Structure formats: structure tokens, C-alpha cells
Amino acid sequence: MSTTAVAPTTGVNYLNAQYGIRSWLLTTDHKRIALLYLGSVTFFFLIGGAAAVLMRLHLIEPQGALLEPATYNKMFSMHGIIMVFFFLIPSIPAVMGNFLVPMMVGARDLAFPRLNLLSWYVYIVGGLFTLYAVVAGGVDTGWTFYTPLSTTYANGNVMAAALGVFITGFSSILTGLNFVVTIHKMRAPGLTWFRLPLFLWAIYATSIIMILGTPVLAITLLLVALERTFHVGIFDPALGGDPILFQHLFWFYSHPAVYIMILPSMGVVSELVTCFSRKRIFGYSFVAFSSVAIAVISFLVWGHHMFVSGQSVYAGLVFSALSFAVAIPSAIKVFNWTATLYKGSVSYQAPMLYALGFIGLFTMGGLTGLFLASLATDIHLHDTYFVIAHFHYIMVGGALMGYLGGLHFWWPKMTGRLYPDGWARFSALVIFIGFNLTFFPQYILGYLGMPRRYAVYPEEFQVLNVMSSAGASILAVGYLIPLVYFIWSIRYGPPAGPNPWGAKGLEWETPSPPPTENFEEVPVVEEEAYAYGEKEAHVV
């Protein structure tokens, strides 16, 4: 694919080029920053996960088995805030995007390396505010900060938590900016837009949403802070404000944010499906443009969160129609991934199992979205467990599964080590099964009418809740297994070699782990993405 000779795996690389804490905390190397992010998002995932475990344990009994209602409310608020803003939004972009965007375009670093380091610090400062809010007694507004509950009525550390989210937003904006500039300006000679790996198209679309959407969230949270501290009447009707205005502003960001979470995973899956079936992606331009279409339409559907808020019938109809429209590009992607397997050479290494798991769970999550886009049924389903199930299918079954698949795929590149494939396949299976056991019962629970954010519930809902909690214990084990073997592999894993999967793409043409400057010579690209037909893709 390029002219670079493959250097031996031993020797100087980005990991051993410098030693010491300082060399990490002051690094501007995108690969090291990616690892800083990897450590931090994993930390937040474990905290958010611990809260989820407590909640599921609590819900085994209708009267609540474990926590005070007030504590339960703090748990789901913290879980939501941490999982969304501190784990899932940064996960793929900040970890894999950071590591891969420069490598995939054939550059030595991102366009603004110091800005990149700043993004990480901004993220950490936001995280500290949020952790402070948790330690100092918690927040109980939910991750949605609905007014006037959050501005006038909620006690607790609303300000610290909102400030944490506000600050972290700037990290997203800066990262998005860095990616957009890098993809525009730093592509290697010959790497035209339509030769880009689809991961980059997805990251590009995501970055655009981050840059355009996040400022709206920042402004909204600022207004909440103004009203809460200085009683400026913006949202609270008692002060002359409009509580529904908050929902418009919040969802104008937070619906597109759903696509910040899922689009990168879709990009990862395009890489995995092609590599493990040794095929070009089926319908490259359809997959690429569907990312862009999703990014655009996602800004126009926020009202589907407000069908029961008293919004006019006409607004409801428009938002419903637009929400249905998002289903089309999503379906196109699923069909094209599936068709990519056709007449391929399919192998089932761990990353591929994660990718197939993604396709299955995302399909189920996406299709249940139709129930919520449809006005008549959403009236009944809104704010019930059906919604919880739907978005966990997308965000955990989809986005998190894609993240783990990507991590398994690029781990050898990042660390130079292989993990035990058997265990990894086993964990993919455990996660898939545990996930369905946890969240499938919640669809039924929701249709039966169990509202979300309920610390106690009527007895007839118990059986399904117990099933869900039992599934969650399997799921938890599924997530802990990779943690163990990844850590194990750093020391004991066999060397990976530059290209353990026989994958195409510039990042596989340089040693693992790569040297600090990524490529010894600037690569020149002479072929399309995923040119798996060419024999020279060498398998190690």
C-alpha cells in the first residue's frame, strides 16, 4: 500500500522513547495522549459501572433492597452523567481517534499536538469537579438536569456536577477541531477523501457534531447556573421563565450527542468487518454518506424527547417524521456490513465477534427506536423502562461493543502485545448473552408500564426486574474478563508484530508499537481503502 519498509518490532518506539511520569504528563505525542485517555475513561467506566451494579441489586425487591430512595436517585444521576459525558462520549474519539487519526492519514501527529494535551487536562478538570460532586454528597437531578428541578428545587451539588459537564464539553470541542483540521490538511499524498478508511469518515462526522452541538450544551448549563445562583428567571415559571425552553436547548445537543456516541463505533465496525472477511466494504460511498446524513438529520429530531411535554400536535408530527428518517441511513449501514461478509473469507477472531455482536444489538436497539419515533406508541412508552432498554441497546450493546471490538483490534498495535484470543472470544460471548438477559426484559417491563428512575415499584414488576439483575451479574463478569487479560498481556503477551490480523490501512504498515514519529518516511497511498484483493497484504 505504501513505500515504507516495515521496521523490526524491537527498537525504539513511542512507549520506550522516554521514561518517567513527566514524560507522560507533558507528552504531546497523540499515541501517548490516547493512552492517558484510555486509563481515564476506564476509570470512569468502572465508577459508572459500580453505580449500575448497586442499582440493579437494589431493584431486586419492589421496596428496594439496598438504598434509600434519595441515594438511588443519586446513583442513577451519577451513573448517567459519568457514563455519558466521561466514558462514552470521549471513549472512541479520544482513545482510538487520538491514536489512529494521524496514523490512518499517514501523518506524524495531529494538527495541534499541544491543544490535544490541553484537551486531556480539560477533561480531567471536568472529571474532578464531577467526582467532587459525587464525594461531597451527590447530585440527584438525573443526567438531564431538567428545570425547574435542577435550578430551584434540587439540593445537592448541582453546580459542581453541571460545571464538570460544562468544562468537559470544551475538551470535546477541542478534540473535534483537531480531528477536522487533521483530516482536511494532513492526509498523505494520494490519500483522497474517497480512499479514507470509513473510521475516519465516522470520526469526521462525529467531530462536526461535537463542534456544533457542544457549545449549545455549554450555554444551557451556564443558564442553569445563572438561574440557580442568581435567580435570573430563565426556566423557572415562578421567576417568569419557561421550563420547556430548557428541554429544547438540552436535547438540541443531547440528541446529536447520541450520535457522537454511536457513529465512531459504526466506523470501528466498518474496519473490523472488512478486515475479518478480507473484503472491501460493500457500498463504500453509501456507508460513508450515511454517516454524514445521520450527522445532519440528528440535529433536527430533538423534539422526539418532548412528545408528551405539551408540544403542539404539528411539532410532534414533524419531529416524528424526521426521527423516522434517521432510521434509513442506519439501516443502510447494517445491510452493507452484512453484505460485506458475502463471499468473503470470514474468520472469528475476538474483534470480529465483538463487531458481529455490535451489528446484532444495534439492529435491535435501532428498530425499537421506531416505537419511540412513532407518536401514538411513544405516548405510552416515554419515560418507561422501554426507553432505558432502547438506549442501552444502542449505547452499551452498540457503542460500547464497538469500542471493545476496536480495543481488541488495535490493542496489539498500541501495546505491541497479543492477548489470549480464546479468553477474548469467551468474553465477547459472555457480554452478548449477559447484555440481552439484562436489557431485554426491560422492553417488556416498559410496555407493562414501569416508569424509569423508580427506586421502588409495584410488586407485579418484580419477576422481570430480578431477571434483569441476574443478567447484569453475568454482564459484569463479561466486562471484567478483558480487564484482566489486557493487563496481563502488557507484561506477558507474545509480541504482536506489525500486522497480526493481515489488515489493510496505513497504521498496519509501521511497527507495533509504532515509533514516536509513526512512519519513518511519509507514506504514499496508491490504492483504495480495504484493498484486500491485492495479494501483498501480508499475514503474520
Partner 1 sequence: MWFGFPLRPEQASTIAQGIDHLYYFLTAMDLFFTGIIFLTIFYFAIRYRRRKKDETPAQIEGSLPLEVAWTAIPLVLVVVTFVWSSSLFIRNARPPTAATEVFVIGKQWMWQLQHPEGVREIDELHVPLGRPIKLTMTSEDVIHDFFIPAFRVKKDVVPGQYSTLWFQATKPGSYHFFCGQYCGVSHALMRGEVIVMQPQDYERWLSGSKKAGTMADAGARLYEQYACITCHGTGKGPPFVNLYGSQVKLQDGSTVVADDAYLRESILVPSAKIVAGYEPIMPTFKGQLSEEQILQILAYIKSLGAAERKAGQE
Binding to ligand HEM (CB under 6 A) within 382-401 occurs at: 388, 392, 395-396, 400
Cβ atoms of 24 and 36 closer than 8 Å: yes
Q: List all residues 6 or more positions away from 61 whose beta carbon is below 8 Å from its beta carbon.
A: 462
Phi, psi (deg, nearest 5) at residue 373: -75, -25
Indicate whether 390 belongs to the interface with Cu ion (CB under 5 A).
no
What's the number of CA atoms in the CB half-sphere (13 Å) around residue 203? 32
**Residue 227 to residue 242: CA distance in whole angstroms:** 12
Contacted entry of Cu ion, partner 1, ligand HEM, none for residue 69, CB cut-off 5 to 8 Å set by kind? partner 1
533 binds partner 1 (CB under 8 A): yes
Q: How far is CA 391 from CA 136, 152, 466, in A?
A: 29, 29, 20
Least distance CB 427 / Cu ion (angstroms):
31
CA gap 406, 486 in Å, rounded: 13
- The binder of ligand HEM chosen from 15, 35, 88, 92 (CB under 6 A): 88
Residue 55 interacts with ligand HEM (CB under 6 A): yes or no: yes
Of the two residues 32 and 382, which places its CB atom closer to ligand HEM in the complex? 382
Q: Which helix (H) or strand (E) holds 202?
A: helix 198-230
Binding segment (CB under 8 A) for partner 1, from list 90-98, 144-152, 472-480, 518-526: 144-152
Cα distances from 514 to residues 9, 10, 450, 500, 508, in angstroms, run: 9, 10, 51, 14, 9
Out of ligand HEM, partner 1, Cu ion, none, what residue 445 binds, judged by CB under 5 to 8 A for its kind, is none
Could you tell me the smallest distance in angstroms from the CB atom of residue 362 to ligand HEM?
14
**Interface with ligand HEM, residue 27, by CB under 6 A:** no
Which CB sits closer to ligand HEM, 301 or 395?
Answer: 395
**Dihedral class, residue 98 (left if φ above 0, else alpha if ψ from -120 to 50, else beta):** alpha
- List the x/- string, 259-298, binding to ligand HEM by CB under 6 A: ----------------------------------------
Length of the chain: 540
Choosing among ligand HEM, Cu ion, partner 1, none, which partner's interface includes residue 400 (Cβ < 5 to 8 Å by kind)? ligand HEM
Q: Which of 382, 408, 425, 504 contacts partner 1 by CB under 8 A?
A: 382
Q: Is 356 in the site for partner 1 (CB under 8 A)?
A: yes
- Which residue in the set 323, 438, 465, 510 belongs to the binding site for ligand HEM (CB under 6 A)? 438
Instruction: Please state whether the peptide bond connecting residue 513 to the residue before it is cis, i.e. omega within 30 degrees of 0.
Output: yes
**How would you label 484-513 residue by residue, b for 16+ Cβ within 10 Å and e otherwise?**
ebbeebeeebeebbbbbbebbbbbbbbbbb
Tell me how many degrees the CA angle 362-363-364 measures, rounded to the nearest 5.
Answer: 90
Phi, psi angles (nearest 5°) of residue 531 = -80, 65
61 in helix, strand or coil?
coil
Select from 77, 168, 323, 384 the one that contacts ligand HEM (CB under 6 A). 77
Q: Which of 30, 79, 304, 504 binds ligand HEM (CB under 6 A)?
A: 79
Positions in 238-297 near Cu ion (CB under 5 A): 255
Q: Which does 255 bind (CB under 5 to 8 A by kind): ligand HEM, partner 1, Cu ion, none?
A: Cu ion
- How many residues sit close enough to Cu ion to count as binding (CB under 5 A)? 1
Residue in this structure with the C-alpha cell 484493498, named with its chain if needed: 531
Partner that binds at residue 79, options Cu ion, partner 1, ligand HEM, none, CB closer than 5 to 8 Å by kind: ligand HEM
Nearer to ligand HEM, 391 or 530 (CB): 391
* Binding flag, residue 56, ligand HEM (CB under 6 A): yes
Give the footprint of Cu ion on this chain (CB under 5 A). 255
